[in-house]
Amino acid sequence: MIPVQVYNGQKVAVLGLGRSGLASAAALRAGGAEPICWDDSPEGRARAEAAGFTCTDLTKQGAFDDIAALITSPGIPHLYPAPNPVIAAAMAAGVPVDNDIGLFFASWATPEWQNFDIAPRTICVTGSNGKSTTTALIHHILTHAGRSSQMAGNIGRGVLDLDPPEAGEVVVLELSSYQTDLARALTPDIAVFTNLSPDHLDRHGGLGGYFAAKRRLFSEGGPDRAVIGVDEPEGTYLANQLAVSRSDDRVIRVSAARKLGDWGWSVFARKGFLSEWRKGRQIASIDLREVTGLPGAHNHQNACAAYAAVRALGIAPREIEAAFHSFGGLPHRSQTLAEKAGVRYVNDSKATNVDSASKALQAFKNILWIAGGLGKEGGVAGVKPHLGTVKKAYFIGHSARDFALELAPLDHEICETMEAAVAAAARDAQTGDTVLLAPAAASFDQYPNFEKRGDHFAELVAALPD
């Protein structure tokens, strides 16, 4: 646990008692603060009380009279589409609002660090797609290279659940826009921006607000190194804002779409090969085509970002290449489940929007595509340019018929359920085909989350005959 250092002897309110909320309350208590907890659900309050915390209704008049700060969970809106009433009351009372990420960075460094030969460091990863894979890949490379490392944030453990760091340890954090938007302290040593595509627009008041939330990791944090994906205009803009010249190697530009020019430092992937360039010279090259855990251009972008981040720590290219080949990928993200009768089955249940589904469709050939669920604003027509590899689609869930209409004349079958879709795809599949679950939709019509959807797909695939 990372004890919170900044509120010793003070009362601090905690709103939302899921994983991050309870971890925040425990870390506040460990640092000498008195956490005052609240959750709209009786189940959340019961969990907190079972852990020995006091629950007080923060919606009541005067609830913030003697409160030093309010710590809120990432999923609770603080501005758009409307502030949560408890957060609005705290702001009206002049009480600072923060989250666990802000507490972490305010409490991360301790006086014990003066005895370390090498100070601990943090690598923070944000962006729209690829954050989890990039974060896990960085952690994997560091572990493979024998560097002490922990991983947390939007993946794995909550940040305040981390163990106090050892000398030279590297903590790798995946940070969502919900987390970067509100954190009052953001001081990464290395910050990574993967890419940007429309998502969570209602929460951020539009695409500009969404990008601004991501940008805070760089503008507020002032990292020593910034790894920036420049395949979208926002990344190009961000890199331009951070660099003082073309030769400024504090900014490492990353692309999976083109060869980058004569920058101070760049890493890019073309035709399956990763290249590192510094000051006009190629430093290293890695063949990504046979790296089974990182299929497709979108994963090559993730590989470039992870490569750049660990190169900034001095990890050698050959060590990185070896780690790439031992990386198994993450569940539900272009995850190869099995090959049966010459047919590959791939679980990309995390592809919940058009952009991520399009990237999955570009990563494989001869695709039998399982898609659908609870469709998102804007529909699914954005995948049309990437349907050339799709032999047939099998639509499920609430938006099955909407998908069929939007993507006509694509050969398709309305299956509605995952069971029917897997059975139909397995029936039609021939040697060399890939059955791909890349829903391009949320899961909430049939499943509580994308993980459960992917797990169900995996169970059905496992039950198919070899």
Range of 33's domain? 11-98
Q: Which helix H or strand E contains 297, and what residues bound it? A: helix 296-311
Given a contact cutoff of 8 angstroms between Cβ atoms, the answer to whether 407 and 384 are in contact is: yes
One-character DSSP codes across 373-426:
SBPPTT-SGGGGGGGGGEEEEEEESTTHHHHHHHTTTS-EEEEESHHHHHHHHH
DSSP secondary structure letter of residue 230: -
177 lies in the same domain as 223: yes
Site of tokens 């990344």: 235
Beta bridge partners of 72: 15
Domain count for the chain, please give it: 3
- Domain membership of residue 80 (yes or no) is yes
Could you say which of 299, 326, 353 is where a domain stops? 326
d(CA 243, CA 250): 7
Q: Is 131 annotated as a binding residue?
A: yes
**290 vs 417 pLDDT, higher one:** 417
At residue 355, the pLDDT reads: 87
Residue 103 lies in a domain: no
Average pLDDT for 148-154 = 94
Same domain, 20 and 156: no
Tell whether 316 and 392 lie within a shared domain.
no
**Residue 4 located in a structural domain:** no
In the predicted structure, residue 298 carries a pLDDT above the cut 90 = no
Q: List CB contacts of 42: < 8 A, sequence separation 6 or more.
A: none
The answer to the question of residue 5 being in a domain is no
pLDDT one-digit tens code per residue, 310-348:
999 999 999 999 999 999 888 898 888 999 999 999 999
Q: Do the annotations mark residue 133 as ligand-binding?
A: yes
Same structural domain, 253 and 168: yes
Looking at residue 296, its pLDDT comes to 86
Q: What is the pLDDT of residues 114-129, one digit of tens each?
A: 999 999 999 999 999 8
242 and 374 fall within a common domain? no
How many Cα atoms sit within 13 Å of 159 on the Cβ side?
Answer: 28
Nearest to 438 by CA among 334, 340, 344: 334
129 marked as binding residue = yes
Based on the domain organization, do 279 and 411 belong to the same domain?
Answer: no
Q: Are residues 88 and 112 in the same domain?
A: no
Which pair of structure tokens corresponds to residue 167?
């000398």
Alpha-helical (H) ranges within 52-119 are 85-92, 100-107
Q: Is the same domain home to 134 and 274?
A: yes
- Please tell me the distance from the alpha carbon of residue 420 to that of residue 28, in angstroms, as a whole number: 49
* Tokens, residue 31: 């640092």
Q: DSSP string spanning 36-59?
A: EEE-SSHHHHHHHHHTT-EE--TT
For the record, the structure tokens of 151 come out as 């991983």
Task: Kindly give, in sequence order, each residue whose CB lies less than 8 Å from that of residue 216, ignoring residues fewer than 6 positions away.
Answer: 180, 181, 183, 186
| Residues 86, 152 within the same domain | no
- Could you read off the pLDDT of 36-46 as tens digits, one per residue? 999 999 999 99
130 labelled binding-site residue:
yes
The pTM of the full predicted model, rounded to 2 decimals, is 0.86
Residue 156: its pLDDT value, please? 78
* 99 annotated as a binding-site residue: no
Q: Quick one: 274 and 128 in the same domain?
A: yes
